[in-house]
Amino acid sequence: MARKIPEINASSMADIAFLLLIFFLVTTTMNVDTGLPRMLPPIPDKDQKQDDVEVRKRNIFTVRINKSDKLLVNGEPMDIVFLKEKTKEFVVNPNNNPNLSEQEEKNIPLIGKYIVSKGVVSLQNDRGTSYKMYMKVQNELVAAYNEMREDLSRGTFGKPFDKLSEDEKDAVSKAIPSRISEAEPKNIGGK
Amino acid sequence: MPAISTASLPDIVFMLLFFFMVSTTMRETTLFVKTSLPSATEVAKLEKKSLVSYIYVGPPVKNMQAMLGTEPRIQLNDSFKTLDDIRDFISSERDAMSESDRPLLTTSLKVDEETRMGIVTDIKQELRKASALKINYAAKRVEKK
């Protein structure tokens, strides 16, 4: 007859596991880091001539934000809610308006002939602009480009942009290059 | 009445423990500045945490305000730093990475939304001088209207 093995008391096991659980809850964070990815322009060389990239005036879409967070778009005051549509209109220029960006037909792999805009969005801010407003404007500009890319990829490939293959994404990015430039900081008008 | 068996309780707790271990990341730095991030709709996830270095900008936390005031300050790693330290910070972050990863270094700017752009512009200029051009403005994701 086999001897009966006494059962090991496992009631403190739960306490140990709880202790570990609480330790991990305290020392770790749950949040995933998200943000707007951007590239800064490299510092220009001193020897390099300043005028090698000349952009015509109609191809620049200036967005200025002053220290009281008001927008001045191409010399006119504007509310932020219209900024996205205005940016899209400037880049696409559907009616070939001579005041909006120039268009140039290019041959793009996978898409074929596509009219690429030469427009550049130039963002200028004051030292007194709040970061919140700056981010709002950045977000609207990025949103404008993202929406145009979304439209193109749905129209050409029948899929949303983030479902495209790498090559297709490349083609769409070439057809609608995101050109948001930030001006060299200037110190005008004090703080 | 027989006692309810608690033998499976450790299993349940261990399961919870594993869930939290997998879904969370270790807290790396103690924040001395308040950074309530702005919100944006077009945000992208930051992939590969090992390639990211963080710059925190914001007013000092409540219990330090008596000593430091409320003017926004820069925090790198675990201490307050000035603008001039950013270049050293970037180069030390670069040295800590493997050679092949160095061009992929991303700087995440965690800036409090109430901050004025002056200090952010200065930081951006310093980053350009350090040729750390890939940056990421940290923001909370909000749904589109």
Nearest to B27 among A16, A27, A185 (CB): A27
Chain A nearest-CA distance from B138, in A, is 4
- pLDDT at residue A47, rounded to an integer: 61
B86 CB within 8 Å of a chain A CB? no
Distance CA B83, CA A187 (A): 18
Count of other CB atoms within 10 angstroms of residue A63: 23
Return the pLDDT at B63. 82
- The pLDDT of residue A186: 64
Q: Which of B111, B117, B134 to mutate to test the interface with A (most CBs of A within 10 A)?
A: B117
User: If you measure CA to CA, which chain A residue comes closest to B24?
Assistant: A30
* Domain definitions of chain B by residue range: 27-141
What digits encode the pLDDT tens for the residues A158-186?
A: 888 888 888 888 888 888 888 888 877 66
CB contact under 8 A, A18 and B13: yes
User: Which pLDDT belongs to residue A184?
Assistant: 72
Radius of gyration of chain B (CA): 20
Tokens of A66: 């002053």
**Which band of pLDDT confidence, cut at 50, 70 and 90, is reported for residue A31?**
low
Other C-beta atoms lying within 10 Å of the C-beta of residue A134 = 24
Kindly report the nearest CA distance between residue B66 and chain A, in angstroms. Answer: 24
Record: contact B118-A127, CB cut-off 8 A: yes
The stretch A16-32 carries a mean pLDDT of 79
Does the pLDDT at position A115 exceed 60? yes
Nearest CA in chain B to A132: B113
Predicted confidence (pLDDT) per residue in A67-95, tens digit: 888 888 888 888 888 888 888 888 888 77
Q: Return the pLDDT at A76.
A: 85
Burial A86-119 (b: 16+ CB within 10 A, else e): bbbbbbbbeeeeeebbebeeeebeebeebebbbb
pLDDT band at A191 (very low <50, low <70, confident <90, very high): very low
pTM: 0.77
Q: Which residue has the higher pLDDT, A32 or B67?
A: B67
Alpha-carbon distance of A101 to A92, in angstroms, equals: 8
The residue of chain A with its CA nearest to that of B7 is: A10
Q: What is the pLDDT of residue A190?
A: 45
CB-nearest partner of A185 from B16, B52, B125: B125
- Whose tokens are 């309780």? That residue is B9
Give the chain A residue whose CA is nearest to the CA of B124.
A40
DSSP codes joined into one string, A73-111: ETTEEE-GGGHHHHHHHHHH-TT--TTS--EEEEEETTT
In percent, the amount of chain A with pLDDT more than 90 equals 0
Q: Is B9 on the interface with A (CB under 8 A)?
A: yes
Q: What is the pLDDT of residue A21?
A: 84
| Backbone CA torsion sign across A16, A19, A25, A27 | negative
* Contact assignment for A191 to B118 by CB distance below 8 Å: yes
* A149 Cα to chain B: minimum distance (Å): 13
| Per-residue pLDDT at A4 | 79
Which of A1-5, A153-157, B18-22, B70-74 bottoms out in mean pLDDT, i.e. has the lowest? Answer: A1-5
pLDDT value, residue A30: 66
Q: Residue A50 above 80 pLDDT?
A: no
Cβ-defined contact of B17 to A33 (cutoff 8 Å): no
Mean pLDDT of the region A107-128: 82
CA dihedral B82, B83, B84, B87 (to 10 degrees): 120
Q: What confidence tens digit (pLDDT) does each residue in B1-16 have?
A: 787 777 788 788 888 8
pLDDT, block means (10 residues), chain B with 145 residues: 78 84 72 85 80 88 82 85 87 86 86 87 87 87 76
> In the 8-state DSSP scheme, what is residue B109?
E
Residues 116-145 of A with CB under 8 A from B: 125-132, 134-136, 138-139, 142-143
For residue A179, give the amino acid letter: R
